[in-house]
Structure formats: structure tokens, C-alpha cells
Chain A
């Protein structure tokens, strides 16, 4: 099962503990995680279930490409990092 780690910054708003969930894509893994943590879903995904504009996801060190469909492949041993997109300033 893939491991999912959420940014510490979201934790003061909603509990998002590290989780493990099955799935072949980012979408499938996150759906399984959010099935057990419904409130956290809207902190990461927008109303259309796309990744929020200022959020980003890395799978095994690589940023995902499909921000709307979250179809990026995930291995059973993958680690998924969910955190806010940071820019300069």
C-alpha cells in the first residue's frame, strides 16, 4: 500500500495523519484515504475533485502531472507527499 504524508501546515486546521492506502493512481489512493477522513478532502481537493490550485503532490519525488484527474501512477511502495505549492517572496 502507498504511504501518504500531508503537509504539517494543514494539521492545525484538520487532522491529516500519515496514512497507508491501496490504489494504482493518486486518485485511487487519495479516495481511500479520504473515505476515512472526509473533512480533510476539501482541504486538498476542490469542488470538482481536482487538486486545489495552490496545492501540489509529489509521488516518489516527482511532481504529478494530472492535477485534474490525478491519474498519475502509484506503486505499492510509493510515498505520496501532499503539501502547499510554495513560491518565492
Chain B
């Protein structure tokens, strides 16, 4: 069981801890600053925090025995002289980190390795605990990378990174918008995956094109890595063959639209989602905040409401704001309107820690 949560918000990084039977705010770091994501590397106990200072750019901090230290944020290589590339708006694409959108620890056999996904689409790896970063050029230079597009953000980005627990050289990344990419050789070569995903909103020629898929979040079951779940702009998709093919899950009430997904660490058929009215509104249906859970691989879903507001709730849960602990029992999620809820029984019941935090971008068990 994990007794500590790190909650990244528009105005600081909040530590929420279990005291007795209650979860309480225990501290705040970077108060007033925009903290977008954290990673706690369980191999060594270090925590990484990504900040976006707006005018002053994206920064990365690492925990020490005495607090935090700033370490270099991943930086794009020099853009070659004469190289021309425009973003989807026709403006020159700036090769510069616009957001840190994914942080993941490498495998148990490679201490110090950290992966980082960014906007506008660069994937980086550090082998020295974030002290220096190398861009994975094979992915950035892949001709199809230029087909990636912005979704909710102006620029495309990598938001999900899954390192195969059986072989650390095998890595999947999820791109919005750009599908799922896989490497079997530590990033030297990349292939596009995701047959079966469907983008109903796209032109007919692109509806089933794997690169046109707006993957909102990609997760992998640690005990059964062939099982991957996707919360997609178009709905929920599940794969039983390491993302080669997906099956769409339809007919889930109140909705299959959302951003976040969590999968149980040992039960590949068990996953959680936080549904919203689909893309044009992005609010809970009828103002009722619910979590949906399947225990049978998507054949059926429980709609979990106990302890969650059931009237005039307009909370949106971003893709990194739903967390599951390593035991698979405790869940937590935070909302754009500053609500934070915790469950200790796999979502059957929830308690509200607070509803007055700044907008929440990410929730992680520390």
C-alpha cells in the first residue's frame, strides 16, 4: 500500500498523505508555479517534477535528501540549416521543448534510465537520473512523424510511455495525435501499431489509419504485458497482442469518451476510466461524476458513484490525473476544478480529500 500522493497543479505540487484513515494535504512545493507532472522512480526513491514557467520555459527538478534541485530539461538538437518543417497551422515548427508530457522509469535492470515524452513530439532518454538527455532521433526523424498533429494542444506530443517489464529494450509510446509507436531495440527502430483503432471523426480515408488515431492514454498490465488499454478520443480500445490489434469497446454508459485509464497490475481484464460527454462538451454527463470499471476485459462495466458528487459536477479528469497504486487497491484522481478523490477499495467507494485545489494536471502515488 502506498500512503502518499503527489498532486501536480497549476499552482504547485501538493503532497497528500494518509493519516489514520483520512487523506490530508501534508505539504506543498513550488507554490504558485505550474507543476505539470511527476515521476517517482521506485528503483531509487527519487522524484522528478516537471514545471512550466510560461515565459521562462519548461523546467525539470529532482528530489534530493535536502529538497529539490533543478536538472536540465530535455532539449531538442539544433535544427539543421535550411531544414523546413511547419506545424499544422503553417508556422515553422520550433524544435524546442514546449511541454514535458510523459515521464517513465526504465526497467529494473537499468538503474538511472528515465524516459521523457514532450511536445512537439520528441522522445528523450536519460541514463544518468536526468542529469543529461538524448533525443531518440530514429523516432523524431521517422518520415511519418511529420504526420503527427496537435489535438487539444496546438502541437503533437508523447503522453504515454510503457517499458516492457520482461525486456527493457521494448518500449511503446502513445502520441496525440499520432497513434502508438513501438521499438524492440531501445529506440533504434520504430514501428507504428494499433490496427483496429477507429477515429470516427476523421475523414473516411483516415478513420482506420493507425497514425490518425488520437490516443489519449495508453497503459500496459505489468503482469500480462500483452494486454494494453487505450482511452482514445473516439472511445475505449483493448489489445491482447501488445497493441498490434485492438478491439473497440462500445455501449458503455454513461460514455466511452475520456482522457485517463488505469489497469490493474495483476488482473489484465480490470481497468478504470473516468467518462465525460464526448469531445464537443467534455463534462460529466448530467453533472454526475462517475468512474467506470470493467473486470472482464470490457464485456461489462460497473458505474461507480459512491462518494462522488452526483449533481452539478463539471470536473474533467486529465490523462495523467487518475492513479492506481502498485497493489491495485487504491485509486485517486484529481480534476480541472480542483477536486481530489481517493478510493481504497478499487473504486467501490470514494472520499473527497479536497475540492479547492488549483486545476489538477496529474496525480501519482509516490
Encoded as 1 (CB less than 8 Å from any B CB) or 0, chain A from 43 to 84 comes to 110111010111100000000000000000000000000001
Q: Contacts A42-B73, A47-B76, A48-B79 given: A55-B95 contact, CB under 8 Å?
A: no
Q: Contacts A39-B70, A42-B73 given: A48-B55 contact, CB under 8 Å?
A: no
Say whether B82 faces chain A, with CB atoms less than 8 Å apart.
no
Residues in chain A near residue B53, CB distance under 8 A: 13, 43
Say whether B201 faces chain A, with CB atoms less than 8 Å apart.
no
The secondary-structure label for the interface of chain A is: loop
Closest to B51 in A: A13
Contact A84 B55 (CB under 8 A): yes
Say whether B240 faces chain A, with CB atoms less than 8 Å apart.
no
Residues in chain A near residue B57, CB distance under 8 A: 42-43, 46, 52
A46 to B72, CA, bound (A): 13
Q: For this complex, into which size category does the number of interface residues on chain B fall?
A: 10 to 19
A59 to B339, CA, bound (A): 46
Say whether B54 faces chain A, with CB atoms less than 8 Å apart.
yes
Nearest CB in chain A: distance from B32 CB, A: 9
Residues in chain A near residue B78, CB distance under 8 A: 48
The secondary-structure label for the interface of chain B is: loop
A47 to B54, CA, bound (A): 15
Say whether B75 faces chain A, with CB atoms less than 8 Å apart.
yes
Nearest CB in chain B: distance from A85 CB, A: 7
Say whether B168 faces chain A, with CB atoms less than 8 Å apart.
no
A48 to B94, CA, bound (A): 8
Q: Contacts A39-B70, A42-B73, A47-B75 given: A52-B95 contact, CB under 8 Å?
A: no
Residues in chain B near residue A5, CB distance under 8 A: none
Closest to B72 in A: A42
Residues in chain A near residue B94, CB distance under 8 A: 46-48, 50, 53
Encoded as 1 (CB less than 8 Å from any B CB) or 0, chain A from 14 to 27 comes to 10000000000000
Q: Which of B61-93 contact A (CB under 8 A)?
A: 70, 72-73, 75-76, 78-79
Say whether A1 faces chain B, with CB atoms less than 8 Å apart.
no
Q: Contacts A42-B73, A48-B76, A48-B78 given: A54-B55 contact, CB under 8 Å?
A: yes
A53 to B56, CA, bound (A): 9
Residues in chain A near residue B54, CB distance under 8 A: 54
A55 to B55, CA, bound (A): 6
**Cβ-defined partner of B56 (8 Å) among A10, A47, A48:** A10
Residues in chain B near residue A55, CB distance under 8 A: 55-56
Q: Contacts A39-B70, A48-B79 given: A13-B56 contact, CB under 8 Å?
A: yes
A1 to B152, CA, bound (A): 47
Q: For this complex, into which size category does the number of interface residues on chain A fall?
A: 10 to 19
A43 to B75, CA, bound (A): 13
Nearest CB in chain A: distance from B149 CB, A: 20
Residues in chain A near residue B76, CB distance under 8 A: 47-48
Say whether B207 faces chain A, with CB atoms less than 8 Å apart.
no
A54 to B55, CA, bound (A): 5
Q: Contacts A47-B75, A48-B79 given: A85-B55 contact, CB under 8 Å?
A: yes
A47 to B79, CA, bound (A): 9
Q: Contacts A13-B53, A52-B57, A84-B55 given: A47-B97 contact, CB under 8 Å?
A: yes
Contact A43 B96 (CB under 8 A): no
Q: Contacts A13-B56, A42-B57 given: A48-B70 contact, CB under 8 Å?
A: no
Q: Contacts A39-B70, A42-B73 given: A47-B96 contact, CB under 8 Å?
A: yes
Residues in chain A near residue B95, CB distance under 8 A: 47-48
Which of B55, B75, B76, B97 has the most CB atoms of chain A within a 10 A radius of its CB?
B55
Residues in chain A near residue B59, CB distance under 8 A: 13, 42
Which residues of B pack against A, CB within 8 Å? 53-57, 59, 70, 72-73, 75-76, 78-79, 94-97
Which residues of A pack against B, CB within 8 Å? 9-10, 13-14, 39, 42-44, 46-48, 50, 52-55, 84-85
12 A-B interface contacts by CB (under 8 A): A13-B56, A39-B70, A42-B72, A43-B56, A43-B57, A44-B56, A46-B96, A47-B97, A48-B94, A48-B95, A52-B56, A53-B94
